[in-house]
A and B are shown apart, each in its own frame.
Chain A
Amino acid sequence: MTTSVSVRNLTVSFDEFKALDAVDVDVAPGESFGLVGESGSGKSTLLRAVAGLAPVTEGTIRVEDRQLLGARRDKAFYRSVQMVFQDPYGSLHPRQTVDRQLLEPLAIHRVGDGERRILKALDEVGLGSGFRFRYPHQLSGGQRQRIAIARALILEPSILLLDEPTSALDASVQAEVLNLLEQVRRDRKLTFIMVSHDLGVVTHMCDRLAVMQNGRVVERLSSADLVAGRIGEDYTRNLMVASKGFRRG
């Protein structure tokens, strides 16, 4: 099977603490893969390790059949893999206009035709060119997350790493951003790896998912299995119950 992202026996340690403990994950090209778990389960660390933002102690990461070594990533890697972070308030430079933030990846990768690409990227995320010269503080949370998505897409990557892309947003805005992500995935045949603590969001967006706890994958299942209640682990079942909301018992 060809894989887009293949993680083998991945371990990430911070001193004595193992944030990831021998994790295996395979994501097929064009697939949307979900990672679910509580805080501290290692789901974000896994994404960050792929992006080269976490120290890998052991194991291998292969992206599009190229083995990645340590935390070093070359330019070609960032052209094919981009990341969207949780907090749109923290992930955009507060003193740069939208235009500059979108121009930066193009400049780094020496991509020409900036003008057209920026306008196209803004258009694609549903913001008009009127937003081009605004600063982040002049945008709402949902608009900021759209800019973060535009910045990730402007290099035309094939893989998008999404770290809780909607958990800082209102439910109504979350729906808009999720729809946007589905739209761009369809249009560009992107591979998604999406981290979320919300089972509803993950089953909506992903075909398959891995449930993580204490740095380990405790269960792998398809969204269809989850919906149908074909669940093997108690932990997953607990998450499922929790996602249904409060019951007076």
Chain B
Amino acid sequence: MPSNRVGVLVVTGFHERLQMAGMVASVAAVSGSDVTVFLSMNALQYFVRDGDRAPPAEGSFGATMASTNVPPFRQLFEQAVSLGGAKVHPCSMAMDVLRLEPGDLVDWLAEPLGLTRFLADALEGTLVTF
């Protein structure tokens, strides 16, 4: 029987990829998958508490999307947690590099996680990377 586990590795700082990652995480979580998200590299800065900086578009689609009523990507990740029971973890290495403490991040994130632990769980199922 295939595993119901979905790992979502998010390292991008581009809007389109953050949006797609949030869509995958939220829809998979509310559809019965056990979803774990790992936020690292350029992605983590967009999950700082009270941060309102918009990520840049990677291409023309992102520029067009910015003027439409798509759900904000942070809201999609939060709904993955609140509606689907997903866990969204900040990468402990990225937190060290950016000198962030857990209290600096949005409060619906799970505890910081190392890559080894994330991969140990994620590789038992499907891993998607953005």
Decide whether A and B assemble into one complex. no
